[in-house]
Amino acid sequence: IEIRRVELRRVRLPLVHRFRTSSHAKHELEHLLVTITDSSGATGWGEIASPSGPYYCAETVESCWAVARDHLGPLVLRTAWEHPAELAAVLGRVRGNHFARAGFDMAAWALWSALRNLPLAEALGGTRRRVAAGVSLGIEPSVDELLEQVSARVAEGYRRVKLKIAPGWDVEPVRAVRAAFPGVSLQVDANGAYPNDEREIFRELDRYDLLMIEQPFPPRAFVAHAELQAACATPICLDESIEDVEDLVTAVRLRACRILNIKVSRMGGLTHAVRAHDLARAEGLPVWCGGMHEFGIGRAANVALSSLPGFTLPSDVSGSDKYYARDVTTEPVRCESGFVTVSSVPGLGWEPDLFFLEECTVDRI
Ligand code: OSB
Ligand code: MG
The per-residue pLDDT for range 305-360, each reduced to its tens digit, is 999 999 999 999 999 999 999 999 999 999 999 999 999 999 999 999 999 999 99
Note the pLDDT of residue 229: 98
For the residues 260-285, what does the mean pLDDT come to? 98
| Distance from residue 79's CA to the centre of ligand 1 (Å) | 33
Multiple choice CATH, 122-341, 3.20.20.70, 3.40.50.970, 3.40.50.300, 3.20.20.120: 3.20.20.120
Note the pLDDT of residue 18: 84
Cα distance between residue 250 and residue 224, in whole Å: 13
- Domain locations in the chain? 3-117+353-364, 122-341
Asked if residue 280 lies in contact with residue 253, where contact means CB atoms within 8 angstroms, the answer is no
Note the pLDDT of residue 20: 85
What is the full DSSP assignment across 141-175?
SSHHHHHHHHHHHHHHT-SEEEEE-BTTBSHHHHH
Note the pLDDT of residue 26: 86
| Distance from residue 115's CA to the centre of ligand 2 (Å) | 34
Q: Is a pLDDT exceeding 90 seen at residue 23?
A: no
**Pocket lining for ligand 1, CB < 6 angstroms:** 21, 51, 56, 136, 189, 191, 239, 290-293, 316, 318
Note the pLDDT of residue 314: 98
Residue of 293, 303, 340 best suited for mutating to test ligand 1, as the one with most atoms within 8 Å of CB: 293
Residue of 188, 316, 323, 333 best suited for mutating to test ligand 1, as the one with most atoms within 8 Å of CB: 316
Which residue's alpha carbon is at the smallest distance from atom 5 of ligand 1? 292
Q: Looking at the domain that runs over 3-117+353-364, which CATH code has it been given?
A: 3.30.390.10
| CA-based nearest residue to 121, from 267, 308, 351, 266 | 308
94 — pLDDT class (breaks 50, 70, 90)? very high
Percent over 90 (pLDDT), the chain: 97
Q: Is a pLDDT exceeding 90 seen at residue 21?
A: no
What ligand is nearest to the CA atom of residue 316?
1
Please, is 165 exposed, middle or buried when counting C-beta atoms within 10 Å of its C-beta (0-12, 13-18, 19+)? Answer: buried
Catalytic residues: 164, 263
For the residues 107-133, what does the mean pLDDT come to? 98
Q: Quick check: pTM over 0.95?
A: yes
For the chain, the average pLDDT equals 97
For the residues 276-281, what does the mean pLDDT come to? 98
| Distance from residue 15's CA to the centre of ligand 1 (Å) | 13
Note the pLDDT of residue 234: 98
Asked if residue 335 lies in contact with residue 128, where contact means CB atoms within 8 angstroms, the answer is no
For the residues 233-248, what does the mean pLDDT come to? 98
For the residues 139-166, what does the mean pLDDT come to? 97
Q: Is a pLDDT exceeding 90 seen at residue 291?
A: yes
Which residue's alpha carbon is at the smallest distance from atom 7 of ligand 1? 292
pLDDT tens track for 293-302: 999 999 999 9
pLDDT tens track for 34-72: 999 999 999 999 999 999 999 999 999 999 999 999 999
What ligand is nearest to the CA atom of residue 52?
1
Which residue's alpha carbon is at the smallest distance from atom 4 of ligand 1? 292
| Distance from residue 336's CA to the centre of ligand 2 (Å) | 24
| Distance from residue 97's CA to the centre of ligand 1 (Å) | 18
Residue of 22, 136, 137 best suited for mutating to test ligand 1, as the one with most atoms within 8 Å of CB: 136
pLDDT tens track for 329-340: 999 999 999 999
Most distant CA atoms of the chain, gap in Å: 60
Note the pLDDT of residue 167: 97
